Amino acid sequence: MNGEYEQGTGASGKAPYAIVDACVFGQIEGNPAAVVQLAEEMPTASLLRLTREMDEPVTAFVTDRAAAGAYNIRWFTRNCELRICGHATLAASEWMLTLLGPGRSVEWHSRAGVLTADRDGDRVTVTFPETVLHRMKPEAADKLAATLGRRPKECLVADADYLAVLDTPEEVMKFEPEAAAIEDLDCRGVIITARYSTPDAAKQEEYDIVSRYFAPRIAIPEDEVCVSAHCALYPYWTKRLGLRRLRAFQASPRGGVLELVSHHRGRVSATASCRVNSSGLWNVVGTVVATQLAAVDPGLSGTLI
């Protein structure tokens, strides 16, 4: 798809879409997301049905606003709507900035506020709100430790998620999650993290931090790359490492790499490489009708998380 491609859902009910991998690097595959551009907003139930049919971890639906380069964006997993999704925003930005051409920027209007996107060479940068961290209550920390099978160095609450700081990167990378136990915790998902290596002045490490994210409650047993989790990791690690810029590695099966920096108080800019794998037209109206006629009920809650 290129800049001359007709945007928006036409009279036929077909909408442009793309499948984009976000946070790729070399052989690291990143996190896939679907991006669908609609001519107008559709009911939440319809968007949930479309997301299940698209069958990607997250689908972002975008619609035009009056101002040039401004769009509404909503994100859905297979069972709920998200308040924010970072990797799908990077994916949508890659696609939209390619369509718009050089020198353009994008303004995403979401329920988490306005997110700005720009080019950084051949990469994409999106600025997100920083997540404020809070100490976890002792009883919640005990249950989290039992779920993880180890006592974290620190247990924190990051908005709807739990954040566990482990001693070594090996603990993060070798951790074997139990989805049922994580789902039983009183949170959306669990972030585990560690410094990428022990301090060594003679050794230049490729990354500063490593993490993984598990969210079976929202139909994501393990997130390949969770950019919104890094909006909590950034303030935690910059304070402890004395760094302003972080290079982060998410040690999921596909893996993901992103760079983090803050230019304004309370905001985190995430920069990553993204790759458009496929694009085309999707008969969204026909798909919704077909799933309704087939009495498809995927058990979607529609809850905003």
Give residue 7's pLDDT band: very low, low, confident or very high (50, 70, 90): very low
What pLDDT is stored for residue 239 in this prediction?
A: 97
What pLDDT is stored for residue 303 in this prediction?
A: 58
- pLDDT, average across residues 124-129: 98
Over pLDDT 70: what percentage of the chain? 88
- Phi–psi pair at 71, nearest 5 degrees: -140, 150
Spatial contact of 286 and 46, defined as CB atoms under 8 Å apart: no
User: No. of H helices and E strands in the chain?
Assistant: 7, 17
Give rounded-to-5 percent helix, strand, coil for the chain: 25, 40, 35
The mean pLDDT value of the chain amounts to: 91
> Tokens 């039983």 appear where?
184
Q: CA dist 167 to 65, 171, 236, 275, Å? A: 46, 7, 15, 33
> Tokens 């074997």 appear where?
176
pTM of the shown model: 0.91
Q: Tell me the CB-side half-sphere exposure of residue 65, using CA atoms within 13 A.
A: 13
Q: To 10 degrees, the CA torsion angle through 181, 182, 188, 194?
A: 160
SS3 (DSSP) at 76: strand
Q: CA dist 19 to 71, 112, 257, Å? A: 18, 23, 18
What pLDDT is stored for residue 294 in this prediction?
A: 54
- pLDDT, average across residues 22-26: 97
What is the Cα–Cα distance from 297 to 194, expressed in whole angstroms? Answer: 40
Q: CA dist 123 to 118, 150, 153, 154, 256, Å? A: 9, 37, 34, 33, 14
pLDDT digits (tens, 9 = 90+) for 37-53: 999 999 999 999 999 99
- Phi–psi pair at 16, nearest 5 degrees: -65, 140
What pLDDT is stored for residue 134 in this prediction?
A: 98
Amino acid at 23: C
Taking 80 as the threshold, does the pLDDT of residue 74 lie above it? yes
DSSP-derived pairing of the beta strands 14-24 and 70-76: unpaired
Run of H or E residues at 15: strand 14-24
pLDDT digits (tens, 9 = 90+) for 244-268: 999 999 999 999 999 999 999 999 9
Taking 60 as the threshold, does the pLDDT of residue 24 lie above it? yes
Name 240's Cβ contacts closer than 8 Å, sequence gap at least 6.
none
- pLDDT, average across residues 175-187: 97
- For residues 124 and 8, the model is more confident at 124
What pLDDT is stored for residue 6 in this prediction?
A: 43
Taking 80 as the threshold, does the pLDDT of residue 94 lie above it? yes
Instruction: Identify which of 49, 82, 31, 299 has the alpha carbon closest to the alpha carbon of residue 188.
Output: 82
What pLDDT is stored for residue 198 in this prediction?
A: 54
pLDDT digits (tens, 9 = 90+) for 184-227: 999 999 999 999 975 554 455 699 999 999 999 999 999 999 99
What is the Cα–Cα distance from 257 to 87, expressed in whole angstroms? Answer: 11
What pLDDT is stored for residue 1 in this prediction?
A: 32
- pLDDT, average across residues 92-118: 97
Over pLDDT 90: what percentage of the chain? 85
Run of H or E residues at 64: strand 59-64
